Amino acid sequence: MTVKLDTATARMPVLAAIRREFGEVAPLNGHRIALCGHVTAETAVQVRTLLALGAEIVWCASSTTTTDEEIAAAMRRDGVVVHGKRGMSDADLARGAHEVLSVWPEGPTLVLDEGAVLITALHRDFAHLPAPVLATEKTPDGLAALAGVGPLRFPVIKSDESFGKDAVDNPHGTAQSLVETIATVSARLLAGKVFVVAGHGRVGSGVAQKARGLGARVVVTEVSATKALLAVLNGYEVLPMREAARIGDFFCTVTGKPGVIGRDDLLAMKSGAVLANGGHLPWEIDQEALSALATGRRELAPGLEELTLSNGNTVELLGGGHIVNLSAGRGNASEVMDVTFASQVLALQLVLPKAADLAPGLHALPPECDEYVAAALAKALGIQLDEK
């Protein structure tokens, strides 16, 4: 094992508990899993857990910018097929997904997806393959994308809607990782600065809390009245982006929607504004508009680029507009991904025995998955529960 993989394994107790409890039974024996996800040490621990449960696995990257080459090489040495490299093109990314689905003549029996890449392909270019028994999708972007796929051919578990994602991963893990990366890569002080958070969902509310904890003056932008109200009740100022753009020092987009920061917003920003995208796809900051406005570009540091705009002001773009904590930072803490990945693994093995009775379409994660993950994490944290 590499040092990264060894460290991640030691810091992911819930997956370790699953391996201990179910490894001998091997509930996934005979199953072929196609997995789409970031090529990181944490995902590698999930892959090794699935292998320990008896499955065969092929793995493709879910992003062009987040592959850890060291981890990819280590997994290939272990015999796992991994498609992905850092800096790959969008065409390479799509090709990797197609290659994963082409490994077995009869296709995969199980799918663990991120961004609905594999599930979408199984309804289009690979619709001729037999339908998998079961799939999971772990991102809100992916669940939204499935709405445009049409009637689903097989059951898909919404593993995004889990205790791990809702209570641990999004508001604490991802939020901490985003704010940490923005502060570290920009090398700026957050205290006293105006930190604009676009979106007040699970991640956005966490980013706002973490930024305020470091002394920033947080402004929230929202399109939802309910989320805007929650932001106000949590003590944040809520403004339209066109107004927030004029006063912000830092901008972090976490909406999952395209064009959240557009041309007019960029021109309204004060010189030196820092831009970061926390969403899965690199579209929340309008890259086309930004490139059109840029009269000059230079790298200030790894993952940090300064662009001079046509009005003479500069903006600093982190991670090229890709998901910043993975493209320019170290990503979520291993403990965080542990609960998210454990929910996916449990969804497969607990739902699988009754998958034949599930209608094609989206299905909620079984409550027992959340209970198992919460109990294992509580034990790992040394939390003692009352017996009655």
111-148 pLDDT, tens digit each? 999 999 999 999 999 999 999 999 999 998 899 899 88
Q: Residue 158 pLDDT > 80, yes or no?
A: yes
Q: Give 56's strand partners.
A: 32
Q: Residue 174 pLDDT > 80, yes or no?
A: yes
Q: What is the pLDDT of residue 70?
A: 95
Q: Residues with Cβ < 8 Å from 49, sequence gap 6 or more?
A: 15, 18, 19, 341, 345
Q: What is the pLDDT of residue 387?
A: 84
Give me the domains of the chain, ranges plus CATH numbers: 3-161+332-380 (3.40.50.1480), 171-322 (3.40.50.720)
Is there a contact between 201 and 226 (Cβ–Cβ < 8 Å)?
A: no
Q: What is the pLDDT of residue 279?
A: 93
pLDDT band at 180 (very low <50, low <70, confident <90, very high): very high
E strand or H helix at 111? strand 110-113
Q: Mean per-residue pLDDT for 38-60?
A: 97
Q: What is the pLDDT of residue 1?
A: 66
Nearest to 82 by CA among 380, 312, 74: 74
10-36 pLDDT, tens digit each? 999 999 999 999 999 999 999 999 999
State the chain's mean pLDDT as an integer. Answer: 95
pLDDT band at 381 (very low <50, low <70, confident <90, very high): confident
Q: Residue 198 pLDDT > 80, yes or no?
A: yes
- For the entire predicted model, the pTM comes to 0.88
Is there a contact between 369 and 340 (Cβ–Cβ < 8 Å)?
A: no
In this predicted structure, which of 50-59, 69-78, 317-326, 371-380 has the lowest mean pLDDT?
371-380
The upper half-sphere exposure of residue 73, i.e. CA atoms within 13 Å in the direction of its Cβ, equals 6
Q: What is the pLDDT of residue 382?
A: 92
pLDDT band at 178 (very low <50, low <70, confident <90, very high): very high
Give me the DSSP letters along 53-110.
TT-EEEEE-S-SS---HHHHHHHHHTT-EEE--TT--HHHHHHHHHHHHTSSTT--SE
Q: Residue 388 pLDDT > 80, yes or no?
A: no
275-304 pLDDT, tens digit each? 999 998 899 999 999 999 999 999 999 999
Q: What is the pLDDT of residue 295?
A: 98
Alpha helices in the chain (DSSP H): 3-10, 13-22, 41-52, 69-77, 90-101, 117-121, 140-146, 163, 175-186, 202-213, 225-233, 241-247, 263-268, 287-293, 324-327, 334-351, 367-380
Q: What is the pLDDT of residue 161?
A: 87
pLDDT band at 41 (very low <50, low <70, confident <90, very high): very high
Give backbone dihedrals phi and psi of 137, rounded to 5 degrees, phi first: -130, 130
Distance CA 42, CA 155 (A): 26
Crossing angle for the helix pair 13-22 and 367-380, to the nearest 10 degrees:
110
Q: Give 274's strand partners.
A: 250, 316
Q: What is the pLDDT of residue 111?
A: 97
Q: Compute CA distances 312 → 265, 271, 287, 303, whole Å.
A: 15, 8, 18, 22
**Burial of 20 from C-beta contacts in 10 A (0-12 / 13-18 / 19+):** exposed
256-268 pLDDT, tens digit each? 999 999 999 999 9
